[in-house]
């Protein structure tokens, strides 16, 4: 059911917003934490009953917003950001999260074990570690910095190289995001063979931020766990699927999202564009922070909120089928409003879900959004991410399905369905 948003202006403002302001949509709790920084411009209740606030902050203070969300809520994301209040209000009016959370229309099946079992032993910790090391070697991947653009372009080129020789694979830089500054999102598409109009998405954000960086393009923000680890997991997943000569039935899109840390901007721009074009996205996996585990904690945590009910059940089935036999354990984590890029897809009405790292008994990664988010702080290993690549491969094989797979010699052409 479509719902009509009730956005109640709290304070009269000029019709045209200042370009020096950023307009946030956050939970009421997050807004309260921003007291003094953000000015309320509207109140709203989202379809799942969360009280939201449209507020306005100086663009120059956006890093402080991220920092406060980080300190008070110990997480990435936490809000959506827009250039104008009109955009923020339009976003709320078109909120499809209630349908996306409750929808049970999508039918997910576990019947592609040969493909997944072939893939799982091929995950290499060293390859994941190499990608994290490269990405965390940039000064930062901040959305408004030259390094933020260069690192995104490196991901594009690296993914394109993995797909060399495959005429059914394309890569693009997605730049139709007015709030993403010079940072593109990266999209790699493997064309589906028999169900090409049905799209499976695997995503992670490619940007990073330092909460003490003050918005400087030169800030130090290695972002090894948050979220070079997620990009590295996707990269290893892609490498293995392509190396096996795999051709999916459904179309698959690997995505590196721009500007997540400043209000889920890249993923929201893509999800809204897909909604506008009527793209049939059947499942979205989000991987954001996969490489930290310390102490006696469950290996993987299913995010419980702003996710699709059927897809969450399917994630549990995937885990129990492929991960539990290897000795891994699962738990759950409630992440809050606008927690990561899955929320963009949920808002646009698509089924999305997320698996999160184990963390430690005290909560999540203690060095998030600081200069301490390095491989060294995680013991110079990517071992915790191996199981996320395995989970991503299981998700990939079981949602996109297998049309053809070739593990040696020249790839045979795929003929009619």
Binding site for Zn ion (CB under 5 A): 76, 226-227, 288
Tell me whether residue 92 or residue 155 sits nearer to Zn ion (CB atom). 155
Q: Are 40 and 54 in contact (CB under 8 A)?
A: yes
Catalytic residue among 63, 205, 227, 341: 205
Beta strand spans in 121-249 (E): 169-174, 185-190, 195-205, 247-248
Least distance (Å) between residue 358 CB and Zn ion? 16
Least distance (Å) between residue 69 CB and Zn ion? 12
Catalytic residue among 44, 158, 342, 369: 369
Distance from C-alpha of 181 to C-alpha of 146, rounded to nearest angstrom = 10
Least distance (Å) between residue 306 CB and Zn ion? 15
Q: CA nearest 209: which of 183, 187, 176? A: 183
Location of structure tokens 């998700």: 395
Written as six digits, the tokens of 111 are: 């019947």
Is 245 exposed, middle or buried (CB count within 10 Å of its CB: 0-12, 13-18, 19+)?
middle
Instruction: State whether the Cα torsion 134-139-145-147 is positive or negative.
Output: negative
Distance from C-alpha of 128 to C-alpha of 230, rounded to nearest angstrom = 9
Tell me whether residue 37 or residue 206 sits nearer to Zn ion (CB atom). 206
Least distance (Å) between residue 74 CB and Zn ion? 12
Answer yes or no: 369 catalytic.
Answer: yes
Answer yes or no: 288 catalytic.
Answer: yes
Least distance (Å) between residue 75 CB and Zn ion? 8
Percentage helix, strand, coil for the chain under 3-state DSSP, each rounded to 5: 35, 20, 40
Catalytic residue among 95, 207, 225, 288: 288
The 3-state DSSP class for residue 252 equals: strand
Tell me whether residue 373 or residue 398 sits nearer to Zn ion (CB atom). 373
Catalytic residue among 56, 95, 207, 226: 226
CA within 13 Å, CB half, 68 = 17
- Would you give the end-to-end CA distance of the chain in angstroms? 36
Answer yes or no: 261 catalytic.
Answer: yes
Nearest residue to Zn ion by CB is 76
Tell me whether residue 46 or residue 288 sits nearer to Zn ion (CB atom). 288
Least distance (Å) between residue 151 CB and Zn ion? 15
Written as six digits, the tokens of 351 are: 């089924």
Helix pair angle (309-318, 383-400), 10° resolution: 120
Tell me whether residue 76 or residue 303 sits nearer to Zn ion (CB atom). 76
Distance from C-alpha of 54 to C-alpha of 46, rounded to nearest angstrom = 12
In the beta sheet, which residues pair with residue 23? 56, 82
Least distance (Å) between residue 68 CB and Zn ion? 16
The 3-state DSSP class for residue 79 equals: strand
Least distance (Å) between residue 227 CB and Zn ion? 4
Distance from C-alpha of 235 to C-alpha of 334, rounded to nearest angstrom = 27
The 3-state DSSP class for residue 173 equals: strand
Written as six digits, the tokens of 105 are: 């229309």
Tell me whether residue 148 or residue 397 sits nearer to Zn ion (CB atom). 148
Distance from C-alpha of 224 to C-alpha of 151, rounded to nearest angstrom = 13
Tell me whether residue 208 or residue 244 sits nearer to Zn ion (CB atom). 208
Answer yes or no: 70 catalytic.
Answer: no
Tell me whether residue 53 or residue 262 sits nearer to Zn ion (CB atom). 262
Catalytic residue among 46, 207, 261, 299: 261
Q: CA nearest 312: which of 273, 356, 275, 248? A: 356
Q: CA nearest 253: which of 223, 286, 224, 229? A: 286
Answer yes or no: 226 catalytic.
Answer: yes
Active site residues: 205, 226, 260-261, 288, 369
């Amino acid at each position: 059911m479509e719902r009509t948003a009730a956005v109640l202006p709290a304070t009269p403002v000029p019709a045209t917003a200042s370009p020096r302001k950023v307009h946030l949509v956050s939970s009421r709790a997050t807004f309260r934490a921003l007291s003094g920084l953000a000015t309320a411009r509207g109140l709203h209740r989202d379809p799942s009953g969360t009280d939201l606030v449209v507020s306005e902050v100086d663009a120059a203070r956006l890093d402080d917003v991220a920092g406060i969300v980080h300190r008070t809520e110990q997480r990435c994301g936490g809000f959506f950001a827009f250039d104008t209040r009109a955009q923020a209000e339009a976003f709320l009016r078109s909120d499809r999260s209630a349908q996306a959370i409750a929808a049970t229309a999508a039918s997910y099946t576990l019947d592609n074990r040969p493909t997944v079992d072939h893939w799982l032993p091929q995950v290499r910790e060293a390859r994941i570690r190499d990608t994290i090391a490269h990405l965390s070697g940039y000064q930062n991947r901040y959305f408004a910095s030259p390094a933020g653009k260069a690192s995104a372009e490196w991901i594009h080129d690296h993914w394109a190289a993995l797909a060399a020789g495959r005429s059914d694979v394309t890569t693009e830089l997605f730049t139709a995001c007015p709030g993403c500054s010079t940072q593109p999102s990266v999209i790699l598409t493997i064309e589906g063979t028999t169900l090409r109009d049905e799209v499976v998405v695997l995503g992670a954000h490619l940007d990073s931020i330092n909460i003490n960086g003050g918005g400087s393009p030169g800030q130090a923000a290695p972002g090894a766990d948050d979220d070079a680890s997620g990009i590295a997991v996707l990269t290893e997943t892609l490498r293995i699927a392509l190396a096996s000569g795999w051709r999916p039935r459904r179309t698959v899109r690997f995505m590196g999202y721009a500007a997540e840390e400043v209000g889920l901007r890249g993923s929201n721009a893509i999800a809204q564009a897909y909604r506008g074009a009527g793209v049939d996205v059947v499942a979205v996996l989000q991987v954001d922070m996969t490489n930290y585990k310390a102490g006696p904690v469950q290996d993987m945590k299913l995010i419980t909120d702003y996710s699709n009910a059927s897809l969450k059940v399917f994630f549990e089935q995937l885990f129990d089928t492929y991960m539990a036999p290897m000795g891994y354990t699962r738990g759950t984590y409630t992440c809050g409003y606008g927690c990561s890029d899955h929320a963009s897809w949920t808002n646009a009405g698509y089924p999305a879900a997320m698996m999160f790292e184990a963390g430690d008994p005290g909560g999540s990664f203690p060095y998030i959004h600081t200069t301490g988010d390095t491989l060294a702080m995680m013991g110079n290993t990517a071992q915790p991410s191996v199981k996320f690549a395995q989970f991503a491969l299981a998700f990939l094989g079981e949602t996109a399905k297998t049309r053809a797979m070739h593990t040696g010699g020249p790839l045979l052409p795929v003929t009619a369905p």
